[in-house]
Structure 1
């Protein structure tokens, strides 16, 4: 909900809105916790559930809450839905999203508990973007309760694929007309009027370089392209020897370090990074870069692997694409962001 100053000069409608917000406070908190408890990370598509069970379930929860509050709703084949208030031919869009990025590690509470502690709701998606989604629903409810007439319809659109491709909105606009205008409560307060675009680029090479130059059988990292990877795992064909600490769980390791997993001189090592959103890679520590730095120090022959050379020398730890030759910036948007999110 907007943070408005509560003073004597406020108009009567604003004062009434404050009263309504206070009336629904416990409900709002309860429903935020309810939807946070839904693990809405993208999964394998199922019939009627294009982005998997979690995002579909979150969409159904949002629609159910909206219907309980007396709002008009629609479900567009499990891709996207909306709640709406008002009349008229045109509408204003308020797009929110109910999907989340993977929870990662290091939580002091269950990331899908929606627990309330010290006046805050804890859980994956509690900020991005489930709380704003619930607040938007209740904004429509308050307009309805107070019988405030709007010049056009106001529609809260529930996306379920914002974090991994925006296919939900692609589908929406195949089914629905464009809004007259819109705004999304998915940024800093009070308002942002621009956002960087995004390009997901997949680099693939069919090569036996690893097998020819090293004893490595696989390198695996990341679970979403828009998240800085927290872990990177390397598996060798035969036992690998080095002076590394042994861990049973890499999430217990220190960021920036490499460890044996489960046994000393075993076949599996892993690096620990620090996760961050892919739009701000400078806030994290990429576990892929940590691992490549280690491997290039320990395995001389790895320098014969052209593909890995490209990844290490042209991307590495850089968050801005400088060595790729794509670095750029402007005074409004800042620097280009470049994130190596997946490796397999």
Structure 2
């Protein structure tokens, strides 16, 4: 084991170079774009992969781009039996309302800002520097360690199958794209589209419904014309897996319409249903799906989209359900609690994933986390979705500490510098332990 004081001193010595390289990566607008030759997820994500390669090589590791989808830093010669860390360099769109330049690394009183600082460029570079510092301090792993940088995690992780066409999966590893302590289970995800017929002519009272609506976050700004008058709804944007921390502009719009009697007929009844079933009902209690279990806690749900169509209204709902439940139970519950003349369709479906929380690998990471931080390392589950669902043998581990929630996918995304440097130390100790296994 490397002495504590040597690790602390090395992290401090490397801080400046680490942040300079992190800034280089964060200045790349790596949002998914149109597929092009040799750039399956667009120019931005591909540029991020191309930029990380020379950084990897300067850190002293073998670098390779796989199928134009993922790049890796490898420490060791065994290409088939390796400990793998699977992070990503693609990011979600920035939106507006930023105080800081989203395509840069800003520091205000020790808090770092920029798109990707938390999700996931900051933790990805922290892991690379954990490997670099270990190497510089003379550690030599018995097992090969490979840090993989993805480019499509935010849009379905289609980079993983492209990687697995050419490479073996890791024997064990983590993705630093969730929270601490070790995450041994991820809830099931299902998104629904519910279309409701409006046939009494009342639909003509509204038009031009507009706003920033996406499955990854709670909508915060909507506008609509009602009887030729513009009506606005203002919420608070948060990730769709933490709706209780925000304000959903869809349900607040519906409440405003109902409270002020802005429409009549079947359309009024429709907005009344939204208020009754969805407004501030984050746990499925308005849809007959208030499920929970000991591993996961409560089901989480939020509407993410609302559209006017030719003869009706369509709403989209995102749900994260407990690991002990099945999607068919969610669907059955909702079917009994939607308006008449409605049909429901599954538009996204990702089953839950569970790992043995008593495995030796998870126990090692839990022990490291407790020793480095002094915090409880009991493994947990998450409402989030990570590479652990698509890359075999992967769990989630970091980077958000207990109490830090609802930061990613919104304006002024942040991570404290002290926490980022602490993550370097956690990952150093984790790699030291896992790399020493026979």
**TM-score interval, normalised by the smaller of the two chains:** 0.7 to 0.9
Residues 85-124 of structure 1: pairs in structure 2 closer than 5 A: 85-88=75-78, 89-124=80-115
Change (3 A) 1:318 1:56: farther
Seen in structure 2, the aligned counterparts of structure 1 residues 44 and 269 have a Cα distance that, compared at 3 Å, is farther
1:286 maps to what in 2? Answer: 248
Q: Is the 8 A contact 2:200 2:266 kept in 1?
A: no
Structure 1 position 300 matched with structure 2 position 289? no
Deviation string for 1:143-191 (max 9, x for gaps)?
33334221211111212222332222233333322211112222334x2
Instruction: Check the 8 A contact 1:104/1:230 in 2, yes or no.
Output: no
- Structure 1 residues 188-337: aligned runs within 5 Å: 188-189=179-180, 191-203=181-193, 205=195, 212-235=202-225, 239-240=228-229, 268-297=230-259, 298-301=261-264, 303-304=266-267, 311-337=274-300
The more displaced of 158-167 and 223-232 is 158-167
8 Å Cα contact 1:42/1:55 also seen in 2: yes
Is 1:129 paired with 2:120? Answer: yes
Q: SS of the counterpart of 2:186? A: coil
Q: Is the 8 A contact 1:62 1:134 kept in 2?
A: no
Indicate which of 43, 48, 52 corresponds to 1:58. Answer: 48
Distance 1:284 1:44, change over 3 A: farther
**Structure 1 runs not aligned, ≥5 long:** 1-10, 241-267
Higher strand residue share: 2
Alignment correspondent of 1:178: 169
State the match for 1:341 in structure 2. Answer: 304
Distance 1:162 1:299, change over 3 A: same
The answer to whether the 8 A contact 1:209-1:305 is kept is no
Question: Which residue number in structure 1 is paired with residue 62 of structure 2?
Answer: 72
- Cα deviation for residue 127 of structure 1 reads 1.7
Query: How far is 1:140 from its partner?
Result: 2.0
Q: What is the rounded CA distance, in whole Å, between the counterparts of 2:221 and 2:34 in structure 1?
A: 22
Q: Identify if the C-alpha distance between structure 1 residues 28 and 221 changes in structure 2 by more than 3 Å, giving closer, same or farther.
A: same
Separation of aligned partners in 1, 2:37 and 2:77 = 34
Number of residues paired by the alignment?
A: 305
- Secondary structure of the 1:131 match is helix
Change (3 A) 1:210 1:187: farther
Deviation of the 1:228 alpha carbon: 1.0
Structure 2, unaligned stretches of length 5 or more? Answer: 308-438
Secondary structure class of the residue paired with 1:175 = coil
Aligned counterparts of 1:24 and 1:73: Cα–Cα separation in 2: 21
TM-superposed CA distance for 1:274, in Å, is 0.2
Deviation, 1:227, is 0.8
Pairing 1:31–2:21 present? yes
Structure 2 Cα separation of the partners of residues 195 and 339 of structure 1: 21
Distance in 2, Cα, partners of 1:334 & 1:320: 10
1:161–1:168 CA contact under 8 A, matched in 2: yes
Per-residue CA distance 1:289-311 (angstroms, 9 max, x = gap):
11121223333325347766654
| 1:106 positional shift | 3.5
RCO (CA 8 Å, sep 6+): is it higher in 1 or 2? 2
**Normalization by structure 1: what TM-score?**
0.78
Q: Deviations over 1:229-251 (max 9, x none)?
A: 11122245x632xxxxxxxxxxx
Give RMSD over aligned pairs.
2.7
